[in-house]
Chains A and B, each alone.
Chain A
C-alpha cells in the first residue's frame, strides 16, 4: 500500500517507521524544517519537507496514487482539512485523522472525517476492551509535581453509585476533579450524586491508586453503602 503520513512528530515518525518495516511505501510530510532534517537522517527519501495543507505539496508527494492518508499533526484544523481534501478532492479511499483536543471531535464528525482518533479515545477503548469495569486509567503523570490524574468508569455495581461525593471516604492526597456524564463534563460538588456510567477523574499523589480502585470498585470490595 502507498501511505502518506502527515506530521513527523512522535506519532507520525513512529508510525512511518512501523509502516516501512511492514513493507508499505510511505511518504512522511513535515512542515518544520528542523524537525524534517532530524527525521530525514533516519527515514531519508521517505520524508519530505512542506506544508501538507497546500495542495501542491500533497500532489508532489503523489497523493493521486495514495491508498491511505494519515494526518497526525499537532493541529486539529490541519488534520481535518488534509483529510477532507484527500478524500473529496483526490478520492483517497482511506483516511485517518488524529484529534488533539477531544473537544474538537464534533468538528471532525461534522466534516465527515472518519475515523478520527484521539489519545483519550484510544485509552478509553483500551479500557473497555481490557478492563471492562472498574479499570483505572492513568491519563497524566506530572512527575515533577508528584501528581497523577486517573480516570475510572463506574459500573453498575460500583460501591459509590447513588452516593453523594461529600460522603465518600476519599483517601488523603486524592481529589475528585471531574465527572463525565452522557458526554458532558462537570466539576462535582459535595452534593453531586454519582451514577452508573459516570467517568470520574481524580488527581492524586502517586501510590493511592489501589485505595481509589477499591473505593470506586464493586460494592463489598470497598466502602459501599450497606444496602449495596
Chain B
C-alpha cells in the first residue's frame, strides 16, 4: 500500500514510521523541512535509506501534493496541526484525486462529527480523550461519604 501523510508532527511521523516498518510505501509532506528529523527519531538509518519519501511543501499546494505522489496514493492521512487545513485537503484528496482511503484528523469534536456524517473518515483525538477520561473517572473509586440516609452504600 502507498500511504501519503500530510503533516509530519508527532502523530504523522510516528504513523509514518509504523507504516514503513510494516512494509508499506510511505510518503510524507510537511511545510517545515525540519520535520524530516522527527521522522528519523529511533530509526537505525536515514528515512530515505529505509525507503521513505519526504517532500517539503504545503498541503494546499497542488504541485506539492503531486510531487509527494498523491495521484498514486492508496491512502491519504491529513494530520497537520490545523483542523481547517486537514478538512480542506482531505476533501481535495477525495474529490480531485479520488484516493480510495482518506482520513482526516480533526481536533474539534463538533466538526469531526458533522464531517463524519458527510462521509468523511475522521479521527478526533479530543473525542477519544474525553471518552477515556470519562470512563476513567467513572471507574475510579469514590470517597466513602454517607448518602442522605446515612448509608455509605448510597454514595457509590
A206 to chain B, nearest CB (A): 33
User: Given the interface contacts A55-B111, A89-B114, does A110 sit within 8 Å of B92 by beta carbon?
Assistant: yes
Q: How far is the CA of A56 from the CA of B111 in the complex (A)?
A: 10
Chain A interface size, as a band, is 10 to 19
* Pairwise interchain contact B83-A107, C-beta atoms closer than 8 A: no
Segment touching B, from A13-21, A42-50, A80-88, A116-124: A80-88
Residue of A nearest to B62 (CB): A106
Q: How many residues of B contact A (CB 8 A)?
A: 18
A42 to B82, CA, bound (A): 32
Instruction: Report the separation of the CA atoms of residues A110 and B96 in the bound assembly, to the nearest whole angstrom.
Output: 7
Q: B-facing mask of A70-106, CB < 8 A → 1, else 0? A: 0000011110110001001100000000000001101
Across the interface, name the chain B residue whose C-beta is closest to A76: B60
Q: Which of B100-143 contact A (CB under 8 A)?
A: 108, 110-111, 114, 118
Report if B3 contacts A (CB, 8 A). Answer: no
Identify whether the interface residues of B are mostly helix, strand, loop, or mixed.
helix
Inter-chain CA distance A72–B108, complex, in Å, is 22
Dominant secondary structure of chain A at its interface with chain B? helix
Number of A-B residue pairs, CB cutoff 8 Å, is 43
Choose among B60, B82, B111 the residue that contacts A107 (Cβ–Cβ < 8 A).
B60
B88 contact set on A, CB distance < 8 A: 77, 80-81, 107, 111
> Quick one: given A77-B82, A77-B85, are A55 and B96 in contact (CB under 8 Å)?
no
Task: List A contacts of B61 (CB < 8 A).
Answer: 103
A53 within 8 A of B: yes
- For the complex of A and B, the 7 pairs showing the least CB-CB separation, nearest first, are A77-B84, A55-B110, A77-B88, A81-B84, A77-B85, A110-B95, A78-B84
Residues of chain B within 8 A of A106, CB atoms compared: 62
Tell me if B62 and A53 are in contact (CB < 8 A).
no
- Taking the closest CB of chain A, its distance from the CB of B52, in whole angstroms, is 27
Q: Is A130 an interface residue (CB 8 A)?
A: no
Alpha-carbon separation in the docked complex, A75 to B118 (Å): 23
Q: How far is the CB of A155 from chain B (nearest CB, A)?
A: 31
Nearest A residue (CB) for B118:
A88
B contact residues around A75 at 8 Å (CB):
84
